[in-house]
Amino acid sequence: MKTFILALAMGVAGVAAQAEGVYGTWQTETSDKGAYLHVRVGPCGEKVCGVIDKVIGGDESITGKTIIWDMADAGGGAFNGGKIWAPDQDKTYKSKMALEGNALIVSGCVLGGAICRSQNWSRVN
């Protein structure tokens, strides 16, 4: 029984450690108008969320707005089940993310994930 509890605790700690790899500040791709965002990604309960930390070359009134929420750690650097707000369209989409080295691939999807628009975000810190 002690072995099972230890294995379970180590598994939970491993999932938490994977989620921590995505924590930090990420820079979005630059828009057609030359604007980009810094998004601070971190925990919100058992899920992962992202808040706009800084706006460069665009509408600064969106600073502090939640842009990603309810992302669940799916393991292996993948996150799903969340939502993302697209400021350029003022629309919310189902979302998924994948951590690949110092890049975060962030996707907003429609039609049950059949069509996705993705961006490669780069780590700021």
pLDDT at 2: 42
3-class SS of residue 118: strand
CATH number, residue 109: 2.40.128.520
What tens-digit pLDDT sequence spans the chain (125 residues)?
A: 444 333 333 344 444 445 679 999 999 999 999 999 999 999 999 999 999 999 999 999 999 999 999 999 999 999 999 999 999 899 999 999 999 988 999 999 988 778 899 999 999 97
Q: State how many domains the chain has.
A: 1
- Cβ density class 43-70: b for 16+ within 10 Å, e for less: eeeebbbbbbbebeebeeeeeeeebbbb
pTM exceeds 0.85 for this model: no
Range of the domain at 60: 2-123
